Structure 1
Amino acid sequence: MVCIAYAFKTLCLCLFFIVVASRPTVKTKVFNVQRHGSKPDGKTDNANAFTSVWSRACARRSGRSKIYVPKGTFYLGGVEFVGPCKNPIEFVIDGTLLASANPSDIKQDTWINFRYINDLSISGFGTLDGQGKKSWPLNDCNKNSNCPKLAMTMGFAFVNNSNIKDITSLNSKMGHFNFFSVHHFNITGVTITAPGDSPNTDGIKMGSCSNIRISNTNIGTGDDCIAILSGTTNLDISNVKCGPGHGISVGSLGKNKDEKDVKDLTVRDIVFNGTSDGIRIKTWESSASKILVSNFVYENIQMIDVEKPINIDQKYCPHPPCEHAQKGESHVQIQDLKLKNIYGTSKNKVAVNLQCSKSFPCKNVKLIDINLKHNGLKGGPSIAMCENVDGSASGKMVPKHCLN
């Protein structure tokens, strides 16, 4: 009886494996944009062809969809790829996507925009060419109220569980990559390039995001390499080279009402080369919101001829005169910061600037093994300047710390 039962079980298992093995494998369906009407001549606007391919790939119900951009130059007007999709989407770019050199040709805020999508993967060794050179002289909004609105290169809004890998972004009109309300997103192997004098060409900009990972990425721009704005939490940045640019910046914060806390940031194994700033936190002195900036770790960071290697500025005012005296101190509370093994050279004598709010002093700032030597034109050793900071220092300390 036992032998019969055993034989029956064995037969059932064999039938199960036969059924599973005989099921048809659902393959990834590839949508080559060139085979669906796109022309790699650098002239024909392929926006409609691209959105048509996206619609078909997004609506497919079984398996994965892969949109493939082969080698060649594909001119592309402003385009939006909108979900939700029925399946995961791969977007592989091996060619060049070319924007119009005329900024007025792109009628939307972002040249290439992804919205309301889960499980999106963008990869390939292609280039997003924003052709921003003609736009940069028009970027004078600080003194011209009629300045034109310039498009960012690629945007992600309400995109989750996704990633971008190996793409190059070249000469954006405004920022390169913009993230809003994006969660669980990995950025790796990306190259971002624009001249150091190109205005407002932030490399990666994010607000209201969480669980973002940025790694093994090279960024050289005319503004912040990475800009971290209101409501961003749990951000990990590692193995990034930044220069030229304005460093890795938190803020500016506090200018608008209803801003949210920024917390849980780790920045490690970074090289800043020739940037205006390295580690930077900036808040408006005349702040309209009371928010918390907390639980930041900066570790293993090299500064090479950086003008302001460590810079907390709670009197941020990019275009004086400002109304600080009339509106009072910043209401942004900065606390629980650890800066460890920060080393290299500073072009400014003030290598460490901790200028905090009188109303909301910085709390629990820890300096561990800081070695920043002055390498500027005017002689003398590097110095640190502190206002309204409470914290501690340990290990090697160049310049001498000024913490309470």
Structure 2
Amino acid sequence: MSGFSFRSLTFMLLVAFLLWSSSFETCNARRGKHWRSSRTISASLSKKKGKSHSSSHHHNHGGGSKPKAPSPPKPKKGIPTTPPPKNEDNGHSTIFNVLDFGAKGDGSSDDTKAFQAAWAAACKVEASTMVVPSESVFLVGPISFSGPYCQQNIVFQLDGTIIAPTYSKAWGSGLLQWLEFTKLVGITIKGKGIIDGRGSVWWQNSPFDDPIDDESKLIVPLNNTVKEHPPLPISGELGGKMPSIKPTALRFYGSFNVTVTGITIQNSPQCHLKFDNCMGVSVYQMSVSSPGDSPNTDGIHLQNSREVLIHGTNLACGDDCISIQTGCSNVFIHNVNCGPGHGISIGSLGKDNTKACVSNITVRDIIMHNTMNGVRIKTWQGGSGSVKGVLFSNIQVSEVQLPIVIDQFYCDKSQCKNQTTAVALSGITYEKIRGTYTVKPVHFACSDSLPCMDVTLTAIELKPLQESYHLYDPFCWQTFGELSTPTVPPIDCLQLGKPSSNRIQSDHELC
């Protein structure tokens, strides 16, 4: 064979080998994507969401070494490129830092587009981590980190501070949420960072537009002094009145296996943290902070969500520390500090003749200080559905105005018409509710046509903060159940047993 022919053959073999190697790697990557075993979406809170551990398999065929990966092409001038992802923990997680996507983190530049770009990149990689680094303040406008086509088990690592814009133009005619995560599986927000809604401009602009908590009618002031609100800015940075619709700071919608831990959410224009249509929610070791007189600033709001665990949290806000709405079941809340605020509430339910269904709720090992209510169930006249299987246990109250409340005549308007239908309440247990109150220890106001049933009281010890106060005695209306132990003060108004009418559950109560 001539030298020329041999060199030609060698060259042809080398080209064929390189093409075969490139094709093999491509197939290997494609196979890894499409042949990956699917993960079962589990709503069990006992299973920890593990990170995806990617492994690289080296193939040795006939003693040959693995070819080197080709160098990435140089970007063309003037065309933006996606920053290369960074690996952390020996390849266990792919990192997408918002600073690499153009975020400034100076507290004044608009970093919204950088956050969107970082999320778009992280969304494509399973078990990736989007990093908001510490020692930086990021001004971010309304944004949706959305699926459903994102990979699973993404971590949003929040160590810095995210602040909301305070100029009206950023919000248009009004939005219901600021930071939203939708239709995701295995989403985790964790870190030591802060989400700051800077809500004071919203509270000052429309302090009288918001409904007033109906339980305020039960509160008789002990003196005539009126608390003055501190002066707040009346407009945003660029002027203009803020919209009347106030956004929730952080909302999750339609997601599975959601975790929020470590972070602080403060000064939200309205609700701080909301879960809607979620299954498998875990919230722990995080904080909510806003002034006690900030309007409708619920701490954690649950709606149409199941398998929820909340523990080890500190919640200080201007409304309910935790609000449990219709469609919630299997909710377990424990070891929570609440105050200031309006306590922990189920409801309000059944507004505008709607159907509400809530079941299997446990609230235990709670400390409440300086709150309007302790543990409360509130429903509107005219509603339907049911609340059943509720346990309030080991609740320590201090300077709480109304520690135990059932109110089936709830109304946050100036007037509400009387209606006969109601959300049915049954299987409500109160045990080990202890501490001091400032207005009334117990207030049970149940429906005339649908009395509360199976209300059980055990080890209730509630004492007035000062014996000299002129306070109300326990109040009961159409409330049936049992006293398992003597109570302090005596709750003689509770009717023992069941209603004499031996009521049969009607269709409108079924859930």
Structure 1 residue matching 2:377: 3-state secondary structure: strand
Structure 1 residue matching 2:387: 3-state secondary structure: strand
Alignment match of 2:391 (pick from 277, 293, 297): 297
Alignment match of 1:99 (pick from 157, 164, 170): 164
Q: Structure 2 CA distance, aligned partners of 1:377 and 1:397?
A: 17
Give, in angstroms, the shift of residue 87 of structure 1. Answer: 3.1
Which segments of 5 or more consecutive residues in structure 2 lack a partner in the other structure? 1-53, 59-89, 212-241, 496-511
Q: Name the counterpart of 1:122.
A: 189
Whichever residue aligns with residue 64 of structure 1, its letter is A
Whichever residue aligns with residue 54 of structure 1, its letter is W
User: For residues 2-401 of structure 1, what are the structure 2 equivalents within 5 Å?
Assistant: 23=57, 27-60=92-125, 63-71=126-134, 72-84=136-148, 85-107=150-172, 108-137=175-204, 138-142=206-210, 148-285=244-381, 287=382, 289-324=383-418, 328-348=419-439, 350-376=440-466, 379=469, 383-401=473-491
Q: Structure 2 CA distance, aligned partners of 1:139 and 1:330?
A: 33
Q: Structure 1 CA distance, aligned partners of 2:343 and 2:335?
A: 14
What percentage of aligned pairs have identical amino acids? 35
Work out whether residues 103 and 135 of structure 1, in 8 Å CA contact, stay in contact via their aligned partners in 2: no
Let me know the Cα RMSD of the aligned residues: 2.0
Work out whether residues 103 and 150 of structure 1, in 8 Å CA contact, stay in contact via their aligned partners in 2: no
Q: Name the counterpart of 2:42.
A: none
Work out whether residues 64 and 88 of structure 1, in 8 Å CA contact, stay in contact via their aligned partners in 2: yes
TM-score by length of 2: 0.70
With over 3 angstroms needed to count, the CA separation of the structure-2 counterparts of 1:42 and 1:237, relative to structure 1, is: same
Work out whether residues 210 and 295 of structure 2, in 8 Å CA contact, stay in contact via their aligned partners in 1: no
* Equivalences, count: 375
Structure 2 residue matching 1:312: 3-state secondary structure: strand
Work out whether residues 152 and 184 of structure 2, in 8 Å CA contact, stay in contact via their aligned partners in 1: no
Work out whether residues 254 and 330 of structure 1, in 8 Å CA contact, stay in contact via their aligned partners in 2: no
Structure 1 residue matching 2:209: 3-state secondary structure: coil
Structure 2 residue matching 1:260: 3-state secondary structure: strand
Give, in angstroms, the shift of residue 206 of structure 1. Answer: 1.4
Give, in angstroms, the shift of residue 26 of structure 1. Answer: 5.3
Structure 2 residue matching 1:231: 3-state secondary structure: coil
Structure with larger Rg: 2
Whichever residue aligns with residue 404 of structure 2, its letter is I
Work out whether residues 366 and 393 of structure 1, in 8 Å CA contact, stay in contact via their aligned partners in 2: yes
Which segments of 5 or more consecutive residues in structure 1 lack a partner in the other structure? 1-19
Work out whether residues 226 and 249 of structure 1, in 8 Å CA contact, stay in contact via their aligned partners in 2: yes
Work out whether residues 125 and 166 of structure 1, in 8 Å CA contact, stay in contact via their aligned partners in 2: yes
1:135-158: CA deviations, max 9, x gaps? Answer: 102243258xx9611111010000
Whichever residue aligns with residue 76 of structure 1, its letter is V
Give, in angstroms, the shift of residue 380 of structure 1. Answer: 6.1
Structure 1 residue matching 2:431: 3-state secondary structure: strand
With over 3 angstroms needed to count, the CA separation of the structure-2 counterparts of 1:134 and 1:377, relative to structure 1, is: farther
Q: Structure 2 CA distance, aligned partners of 1:110 and 1:380?
A: 43
With over 3 angstroms needed to count, the CA separation of the structure-2 counterparts of 1:257 and 1:160, relative to structure 1, is: farther
Whichever residue aligns with residue 271 of structure 1, its letter is I
With over 3 angstroms needed to count, the CA separation of the structure-2 counterparts of 1:59 and 1:315, relative to structure 1, is: same
Give, in angstroms, the shift of residue 45 of structure 1. Answer: 1.1
Give, in angstroms, the shift of residue 186 of structure 1. Answer: 0.1
Q: Structure 2 CA distance, aligned partners of 1:131 and 1:147?
A: 14
Whichever residue aligns with residue 73 of structure 1, its letter is V
Q: Structure 2 CA distance, aligned partners of 1:147 and 1:252?
A: 25
1:32-86: CA deviations, max 9, x gaps? Answer: 11122111100111111111111111112xx420001111101101111001212
With over 3 angstroms needed to count, the CA separation of the structure-2 counterparts of 1:21 and 1:59, relative to structure 1, is: closer
